[in-house]
Structure 1
Amino acid sequence: MSLISRVIATPAWKVFAQYYYPFLTRHGADDVAFLNLGYEESPPMAVPLSASDETDRYCIQLYHRVATQTDLTGKKVLEVSCGHGGGASYLVRSMRPASYTGLDLNPAGIAICRKTHQLPGLEFVCGDAENLPFDDGSFDAVVNVEASHCYPSLPRFFAEAARVLRPGGHLLYTDVRRFDHYAEWESALTDAPMRMAGKEIISENVVRGLMKSLPRSQHMFTRRTPPLLHGPVRAAVAASNAKICRGLQTGETSYRMYCLVKD
């Protein structure tokens, strides 16, 4: 969770993210399936989950909310920046696409995905969000969750997403930005070669998810640290989460969800 607080606070976050994710994978997060923030509604979503998924409920609910902007049943789906593959695994099992391809620039993460998430119709490939290694019109939907803040060129990603989508295909997209990047963000979305079919500011829902998932975050960061350090680490994680929540509540940052359609 501390990644996002750094992402929205430093001008060098793009370079930072390029090296941070492989480091995170290799040094303690190889068994963490989700790297995104959480999501919860009021009243609670109560998405039916298996016992093995319950620990990741609030991360899963963000994927669920983004993906259900359209029907993925029987569709060919690409997830750009799939992280450690938890979202891909959940969507394959719950949304029943015909096929699902997870792509990520982090080779260590892709290795984890291939080892951990072995399901029919699910594959993982290493690749660049701004130079997708697929033919034109290859997919019915592209999923992108909390990743585009790491891309050097957001317009380039939108162009590539549109290229690999079939006519009528959907880009199901969500991410966070600081207030001083709102105009640039909206401009890239307006100029994208797709029609905007849905937009929602979900900052309050992400705050709820973060608050609910704090114990998970604390466990994630303490499970491999000496017991003597558990207290300080738990306190640091709580402080980091609180800072993210304050930013979302005050409008310093905004978490938004979009659905774009290729006509």
Structure 2
Amino acid sequence: MTDDDMRQAVPAMGPMVERTYGPVDLSREPIFAGGFINFGYWRDIDLDHPVGEPERVRSQEDLYRHVLDSLTAAELPEHPRILDVGCGLGMGCAVALREYGPAAVTGMDIHPDQLERARDAQAGLLAADGERLRFVRGAAERMPMTDGEFDALISVEAAQHFPDLDAFAAEAARVLRPGGRVAVTSFFTVDDAPGRTEEPARLLETYANGLDIARPVQALADAFTAAGLKRVRVESIGPDVWPGWDRWLAQWWAPGTWPRNFLRAYEDHVLDYYVVTATRPV
């Protein structure tokens, strides 16, 4: 496939996704220390003490570990082939490669700027272990992968941007081999009560400007089921995400400013943070 073919094959990004992960480069923001771009999993971090960059980086690594642990608990090969959808700078790919003994890790992202940054950030790993690590451009709804290519698929805090969860689920089912597992972690509305999907835009700028899409978590679970995946499980991890994220944000934003409204949205039962897992049947 030529570069022109690839550009035509990848669906267009939303304007805010293109800007945020392109010229804005969210990974440079101090709140996303270490090159990760996620809210973090803070269960093993003492929030009663000052939270610095080491704790922040650990929280982001721990979110990947929690997702990867949800896969390794399943019946996967000892050395699985892993696809990371929405890989950003490949920091999670590096965690998987260092700590989980995969046969190979593929990082996929829709944004060419992110892939360029990923290859720069992981230059050492690519040089030392390029046979097991690669980065490719592709969209969650149209993956440039062969059928049954992977044992496991993860996506960490990217699904809130995916415009079509049904298409993503169908692609996840297609690229997984029989018995393969998918694990997605992100934030969703808690249900589809009347007016629920409009509430986040009143609280949070990222929903008001279209960067994030408000949908109930059940929409992803239902999409996995419709795609033929089984053992679909939804786990709330909000208690281990939102208080730590808010504690970290407090260094830059005062209570009542929109970034601090993530915790408010959780406490008001508007949003929560979830891990959704499923299996392609044998």
Class of the TM-score when normalised by the shorter of the 2 chains: 0.7 to 0.9
1:58 corresponds in structure 2 to 59
1:111 corresponds in structure 2 to 116
Work out the CA distance in 1 between the residues paired with 2:234 and 2:242.
Answer: 18
What letter corresponds to residue 167 of structure 1 in structure 2? P
- 3-state SS in 2 of match to 1:100: strand
Measured on the aligned residues, the alpha-carbon RMSD in Å equals 2.8
Q: Identify if the C-alpha distance between structure 1 residues 213 and 165 changes in structure 2 by more than 3 Å, giving closer, same or farther.
A: same
Stretches of 4+ moved more than 6 A in 1? Answer: none
2:8 corresponds in structure 1 to none
2:265 corresponds in structure 1 to 247
2:276 corresponds in structure 1 to 258
TM-score (norm 1): 0.77
Q: Identify if the C-alpha distance between structure 1 residues 103 and 27 changes in structure 2 by more than 3 Å, giving closer, same or farther.
A: closer
- 3-state SS in 2 of match to 1:259: strand
Greater displacement, 54-63 / 83-92: 54-63
Q: Identify if the C-alpha distance between structure 1 residues 161 and 18 changes in structure 2 by more than 3 Å, giving closer, same or farther.
A: same
- 1:4-83 matched pairs, under 5 angstroms: 14-25=14-25, 28=28, 32-41=34-43, 44=44, 55-71=56-72, 73-83=78-88
Q: Does 1:138 align with 2:149?
A: yes
Q: Judge conservation of contact 2:86–2:110 (CA < 8 Å) in 1.
A: yes
Q: Identify if the C-alpha distance between structure 1 residues 27 and 96 changes in structure 2 by more than 3 Å, giving closer, same or farther.
A: closer
2:231 corresponds in structure 1 to 196
- 3-state SS in 1 of match to 2:241: helix
2:207 corresponds in structure 1 to none
In the alignment, structure 1 segments of 5+ residues that lack a partner are 1-12, 47-51, 219-233
1:96 corresponds in structure 2 to 101
Work out the CA distance in 2 between the residues paired with 1:58 and 1:142.
Answer: 21
CA-CA distance at 1:38 after TM superposition: 1.1
Indicate the structure whose relative CO is greater, using CA pairs within 8 Å and at least 6 residues apart: 1
CA-CA distance at 1:67 after TM superposition: 0.9
Q: Judge conservation of contact 1:166–1:262 (CA < 8 Å) in 2.
A: yes
2:201 corresponds in structure 1 to none
What letter corresponds to residue 200 of structure 1 in structure 2? E
Work out the CA distance in 1 between the residues paired with 2:97 and 2:167.
Answer: 27
In the alignment, structure 2 segments of 5+ residues that lack a partner are 1-12, 47-52, 190-195, 198-214
Q: Identify if the C-alpha distance between structure 1 residues 58 and 212 changes in structure 2 by more than 3 Å, giving closer, same or farther.
A: farther
What letter corresponds to residue 16 of structure 1 in structure 2? M
Q: Judge conservation of contact 1:102–1:123 (CA < 8 Å) in 2.
A: yes
CA-CA distance at 1:31 after TM superposition: 8.2
Q: Does 1:157 align with 2:192?
A: no
TM-score (norm 2): 0.72
Q: Deviations over 1:148-170 (max 9, x none)?
A: 12112111011111111100000
What letter corresponds to residue 21 of structure 1 in structure 2? Y
Q: Does 1:87 align with 2:92?
A: yes
Greater displacement, 199-208 / 56-65: 199-208
Q: Judge conservation of contact 1:39–1:61 (CA < 8 Å) in 2.
A: yes
Q: Judge conservation of contact 2:41–2:62 (CA < 8 Å) in 1.
A: yes
Q: Judge conservation of contact 2:234–2:275 (CA < 8 Å) in 1.
A: yes
Q: Identify if the C-alpha distance between structure 1 residues 258 and 33 changes in structure 2 by more than 3 Å, giving closer, same or farther.
A: same
- 3-state SS in 1 of match to 2:70: coil
CA-CA distance at 1:61 after TM superposition: 1.1
Q: Judge conservation of contact 2:110–2:137 (CA < 8 Å) in 1.
A: yes
CA-CA distance at 1:213 after TM superposition: 3.6
Work out the CA distance in 1 between the residues paired with 2:54 and 2:148.
Answer: 33
CA-CA distance at 1:187 after TM superposition: 3.2
- 3-state SS in 1 of match to 2:71: coil
- 1:147-226 matched pairs, under 5 angstroms: 147-178=158-189, 179-180=196-197, 181-182=215-216, 184-214=219-249
CA-CA distance at 1:26 after TM superposition: 8.2
Work out the CA distance in 1 between the residues paired with 2:54 and 2:134.
Answer: 20
